[in-house]
Amino acid sequence: MADTRQDDVATAMREHVLLPAQEMARLGTATQPVLTHAEGIYVHAADGRRLIDGPAGMWCAQVGYGRKEIVDAIAHQAMALPYASPWYMATSPAARLAEKIATLTPGDLNRVFFTTGGSTAVDSALRFSEFYNNVLGRPEKKRIIVRFDGYHGSTALTAACTGRTGNWPNFDIRQDRISFLSSPNPRHAGNRTQEAFLDDLVKEFEDRIADLGPETIAAFLAEPILASGGVIIPPKGYHARFKEVCERHDILYISDEVVTGFGRCGEWFASEKVFGVVPDIITFAKGVTSGYVPLGGLAISDKVMARISGENAKGSWFTNGYTYTNHPVSCAAALANIELMEREGVVEHAREISGYFADALASLLDLPGVADTRAVGLVGCVQCLLDPTRADGNDDDKAFTRKIDERCFELGLIVRPLGDLCVISPPLIITRAQIDDIVAILRQAISEVGAAHGLTSKEAAVG
Ligand code: PLP
C-alpha cells in the first residue's frame, strides 16, 4: 500500500532541498529513503521497515537513538535558558562541559572553544594557528600540511585542506598555503614493508618541510584514521613519528578527532591512548552529543595558550566566534550524553567489543570480492574489489560495491556507500548478536552480488 506521507516527504525533498552531495544532473529526480523514527541501533523507514544503522548516522550516534536522558536534558535547558550570548554571558552547560572535556582530553589540552559542528571546529583550529603565529610575530609561518584522502569539512578553508580530490571540481578552492602529503594508506606500500613505507612517508614530510622552509609552516592537520577518505589506518608508529618532526620545527600538531573522538576508537580520544601522541590541538564534534543536536569544538594545550596570552598577548584579541558558540542546549545535551556514556561504560564496552567486531568483519575475507577488512574500535570497513589485488577500487569496483550496499539495504542494513567500501561504524552500544546480524547481511549481499558478477571462488576472483 502506498504511504502518502512518505510520498509527500520525498516530493518536498526532491523539489526544495539541496543535498550535501548532490549530483546536479539528477537535481529534483533522485529520491532518498524517508526515515520516521529510531531506537537503539535501529532506524525505521516510512514504508514500515526497520533497518540497522550501520554507520551510526554519519559516525555520530554513539549511544544510539531514543535516549530519554539526553532528550530530557535538551528539553529542560531549552525551557530554562535556550540561548545566551557567548560574547557577554556565562552559562552552566558550557562551563561544565568545557571542564569535563578538559578531563577527557590528553596532556594539558585544557582550553576549550565550542563551535557548531566539525567543519567549524577545524576551521577555528586553523584560524587559531594563524592568530597564534601572528601574535608570536612570525606572520610568514602560515602553511598547513595535510594528506591526500584526508577529510576536514566544508568551509572554504577546511574544504581546501580536504584531500579527497573528487570534492574539488567546480569550487574555487584556494590552496596556496596548503601542501598535500601522500595518503598513509598501507595498501599503497606496494612491495615495500610497512616499516619501509612509513620511513618513506616520514621522509616525504621532512623533505617537504625542508623545501618549503619550517619558518613558513604553521600546522600539520591530520585525522588519526582517515575516515571519510576510506577508513585508512596509517602504519603503526606513524603518528608519533610525525609528532616528533612537528616538535622539532615548532609546527602545531592538530589532531582532527571529529570522527575518532568520544569512544569511537574505544577511548574518549584516540590520539594518545590508541595512537601514542599528545597533540597541541584536538578538534571534536559528532559523538560529543551522539548527534542529538549540533555541536563541535577544539581543545588547545595550556602550553600553546601560554605563549600568546597574559604577558605574551601583545594587545591581541582572539576575535573568532559564532552566535551559537557555547550554545546552552547543545552543551546540556553533550553533558547528558557524556554522563550516560560514563554511567553505562559505553567507551569501555566499545573497547571490549572491538576485537569481536574486527574478527567478525575479517570473517568475510573468504568471500570472493572482499579484498580487505579494517577496523579500530568500532569503526571499520569491508573493501570490495572485483580484482582484490588492486590497491584502490576503480569505477567497476565502486558500482559493484554500490550494488552490495543496495542489497544490504533491502535486507535491513544501512551501509554507508563510500566508493569501494562498505563502511560499518555502528552505535557504540551494539551487542555481539547485533554485530552477527550485520555480518550475516553483509555475507548474503556480497555473495549474491558477487555471484551475479561471476565471482564464485576466491581463486577465480584473484585470477
Ligand atoms: N573532520 C572530520 C574528520 C570529519 O569526518 C568531518 C565530517 O565528517 C568533519 C571534520 C566535518 O564535520 P561536520 O560535517 O560536522 O562539519
42 lines ligand 1 (CB under 6 A): no
> What confidence tier does 1 reach under pLDDT thresholds 50, 70, 90?
very low
Q: Which of 115, 124, 152, when mutated, tests ligand 1's pocket best, judged by the most ligand atoms within 8 Å of its CB?
A: 152
262 lines ligand 1 (CB under 6 A): no
Residue 4 confidence (pLDDT): 56
Residue 3 confidence (pLDDT): 55
- CA of 153, closest atom in ligand 1: 11
Residue 459 confidence (pLDDT): 58
Ligand 1: centre distance to CA 120 (Å): 9
**DSSP annotation of 56:** H
Contacts 24+ apart (CB under 8 A), 300-307: 300/109, 300/111, 300/112, 300/113, 300/128, 301/107, 301/108, 301/109, 301/110, 301/111, 302/108, 302/109, 302/110, 302/111, 303/108, 304/132, 304/252, 304/280, 305/111, 307/132, 307/136
Residue reference for cell 572535556 = 101
Mean pLDDT for all residues in the chain: 96
Residue 396 confidence (pLDDT): 96
Ligand 1: centre distance to CA 53 (Å): 19
Ligand 1: centre distance to CA 118 (Å): 4
Whether the complex's predicted ipTM is more than 0.90 is answered with yes
SS3 374: strand
Over residues 429-463, the pLDDT tens digits come to 999 999 999 999 999 999 999 999 999 877 544 43
H or E element that contains 432: helix 432-452
In this structure, the residue with its CA closest to atom 12 of ligand 1 is: 118
419 lines ligand 1 (CB under 6 A): no
88 phi/psi in degrees, rounded to 5: -125, -20
Across residues 317-337, what is the average pLDDT? 98
Residue 463 confidence (pLDDT): 39
Ligand 1: centre distance to CA 333 (Å): 19
Over residues 158-201, the pLDDT tens digits come to 999 999 999 999 999 999 999 999 999 999 999 999 999 999 99
Across residues 404-431, what is the average pLDDT? 96
Over residues 45-95, the pLDDT tens digits come to 999 999 999 999 999 999 999 999 999 999 999 999 999 999 999 999 999
Ligand 1: centre distance to CA 61 (Å): 14
Residue 183 confidence (pLDDT): 98
Residue 331 confidence (pLDDT): 99
Give the span between the Cα atoms of 9 and 31, in whole angstroms. Answer: 10
Residue 457 confidence (pLDDT): 77
Residue 2 confidence (pLDDT): 47
Residue 29 confidence (pLDDT): 93
Ligand 1: centre distance to CA 227 (Å): 9
- CA of 296, closest atom in ligand 1: 15
Across residues 9-32, what is the average pLDDT? 93
Question: How large a percentage of the chain has pLDDT more than 90?
Answer: 94
SS3 181: strand
